[in-house]
Structure 1
Amino acid sequence: MSSYDPRSSGCTPFEEELINAMNNFAHSTATPSFDTAGIVHRNRRRRASIIAGVATALIVAGGGTALASMTGGASQTAAKPATTTVDHSKATFLLGGLTKEPIAVDLTGWDLATAKGQFLKAQLKLGTVVKAQSPGCKSGTVVELTPHSPKIVVKGDTVNVALCAG
């Protein structure tokens, strides 16, 4: 038999050899396996680590400090007197423009220096400061703000202060 003789399969020797090589390759390779549960777990762990890192960076950078101090965090509450008969709504302003809802800042019973500090943080201007008679208040503390809640003040607005006359 010569190379030109027809084969029983109808293929040339090259074609037969190619088919055999492809069959050997197809039957010898292992099927790839994926650890899908491990991949999902690793992605969740990475996502949690990134979120924790960003939150830590914000805390270290002081991103939440200004907001906490504006809403009367624990450090400012110690400066307030224990009991007053002052109307808190008259000494509270609503700070708008920072979040969706305005933030209520109650300055009842605070001294003028502390109130000025809060105005600086909120980027508000201090207007006129007057003395007012109010029963049960400590002399020199805030008893009324103008404008006060429910009006909303925004950055750059002027707020007038009334201090207790004693």
Structure 2
Amino acid sequence: MTPNDSRPFGCTGHTPFEEELVNAMNDFANSAAAPTFDTPGIVRRTRRKRATAIAGIAAALIVAGGGTALATAVTHGSDAPKPAAAATATTDDATSVVLNGSKFKISFAGLDLDFAQQLLLKSRLELGTVSKEDCGKDGKPGSVIAVDPHSPKTVSIGDTINLTLCAG
């Protein structure tokens, strides 16, 4: 038997079943219409599904990790919006924190005590003394108006930060 032959050597004729099968396959191959595809429709549905999935994932991330992402962004000195600073706060009311050889400037100006404590905890710094000082009628009572030490001095993990709050 040669590699191209499907019948054993010596068999010459086709059985009626084989002839019928070949004819049926030929009829099918010659009569079947080529499939048509709605390519623009497929692309629209794919884009719609992708957009819906991305929106769903984004919503889930916002709900599940919004607070963590905001705290991380503030801790690492991003340009994320921060609460408005008191009128007497200056640009020196920030502490530069050295973490693993990288500097991150953290601004405490205008934050209330609870948020400042959370920020210190996240930055692995200790809260020292908390004092109150008159900041005039423009300042928000209970907001941070000064930090000690403040920039350009840098602190390391575990250092103590003293806060001065507006007395109102």
TM range (shorter): 0.5 to 0.7
Structure 2 counterpart of 1:43: 46
Contiguous gaps of at least 5 residues in structure 1 = 1-10
TM-score, normalised relative to structure 2:
0.57
The offset of 1:151, in angstroms, is 4.3
Contiguous gaps of at least 5 residues in structure 2 = 1-12, 75-79
1:128 is aligned to 2:131: no
1:118 is aligned to 2:119: yes
* Aligned mate of 1:65, from 64, 67, 88: 67
Mapped partners of 1:102, 1:25: distance in 2 = 74
Alignment of 1:16-95 (within 5 A): 19-61=22-64, 63-68=65-70, 71=74, 73=81, 76-77=83-84, 80-81=85-86, 83-84=87-88, 86-93=89-96
The offset of 1:96, in angstroms, is 5.7
Q: Say if 1:131 and 1:163, in contact at 8 Å, map to a contact too.
A: yes
Percent identical across equivalent pairs? 32
CA offsets 1:96-132 (integer angstroms, 9 cap, x no match)? 68xxx97643112445444223223x25232433769
The offset of 1:51, in angstroms, is 0.8
- Two-structure CA RMSD over aligned residues (Å): 4.3
Cα distance, 1:37–1:104 mapped onto 2, change above 3 Å: farther
Q: Say if 1:102 and 1:152, in contact at 8 Å, map to a contact too.
A: no
